[in-house]
Amino acid sequence: MSIWSQSLGTGSDLVVLHGWGLNSHVWQPVQQQLAQQHRLHLIDLPGYGESAWPQGLPVSLDNCVDILLAHLPDRFHVLGWSLGGLMATRMALVAPQRVQSLVTVASSPKFQASAEWPGMDSQILANFAEQLNGQYRKTIERFLAIQAMGSPTARAQVKQMKSWVLSKPEPNIEALKGGLALLAQVDLREQLAQIQQPFLRMYGKLDSLVPVAVADAVADYAPMSQQWIAQGCAHAPFVSATEAFLQRLQQFYHT
């Protein structure tokens, strides 16, 4: 099983996990700065970019986490964006002796909305799953447009992210479909109270995929965690508010 990774810089180990449909190139706006403070590990999630998905293995959250843990340092800080945040959260729960701290960016323990929970409309997830058959690029373009919606720099952001996505091999279709199923089905809310590590949750005020109302809703389940909301940003605050994002991260890692 081969997982693509690249390590930059020196210091404490920091693993960064990208979101659905993308790859490790999304960290380009922040990777050099993060590598000045850490030994930064850029990872392509299983089935994405240059990482394979094991043939015949069902796509589940625990299978993804097990594959990643087998390729990561003994002890590390983890930062996950969107779907990557779900994986990072599960990692902190199942390997507390290895995960030193947890940061989630534009992520949620439960992505799909329900009567009492803010989140993504189930129809949006169903539409993406339906469109995937033979239309990977169009589906990703639609997804990028939705996640940048509301950002003042939405058009430029979509163009930039699209170039990052297409600069690596296309994701495995089973990993894509399985990833959408994780976003639709996983619910880690009740497990958040078990997280003992320092925990920072970062959000975009204008995010339409993980609405900002999620921030306070999650705080009820993880009262010991910290939260930060990037003003004027949608689903990718590390792209549209890079300096503020890095400043808040540095504060978290050095206190």
Tokens of 100: 């030193």
Specify the CATH number for the domain of residue 36: 3.40.50.1820
Give the closest residue to 199 by CA, choosing from 179, 217, 218, 214.
218
Instruction: List beta partners, residue 99.
Output: 76
Q: Give the C-alpha separation, 88 to 181, whole Å.
A: 17
144 known ligand binder: yes
How buried is residue 45: exposed, middle or buried, by Cβ count under 10 Å (0-12/13-18/19+)?
buried
pTM to 2 decimals?
0.97
Q: Is 20 annotated as a binding residue?
A: yes
- Give 39-67 pLDDT, tens digit per residue: 999 999 999 999 999 999 999 999 999 99
**Alpha helices (H) along 132-172:** 136-148, 154-166
* 147 annotated binding-site participant: yes
pLDDT in tens, 153-186: 888 888 998 998 889 998 999 999 999 999 999 9
State yes or no: pLDDT of 134 exceeds 80.
Answer: no
For residues 113 and 121, the answer to whether their CB atoms sit within 8 Å is yes
Can you give the residue range of the structural domain that contains 204? 5-253
Give me the active site residues, please.
82, 207, 235
When pLDDT is cut at 50, 70 and 90, the band that residue 239 belongs to is very high
The number of domains in the chain is 1
Q: What is the mean pLDDT of the chain?
A: 95
The verdict on whether residue 143 carries a ligand-binding annotation is yes
Predicted confidence (pLDDT) per residue in 75-129, tens digit: 999 999 999 999 999 999 999 999 999 999 999 999 999 999 999 999 988 888 8
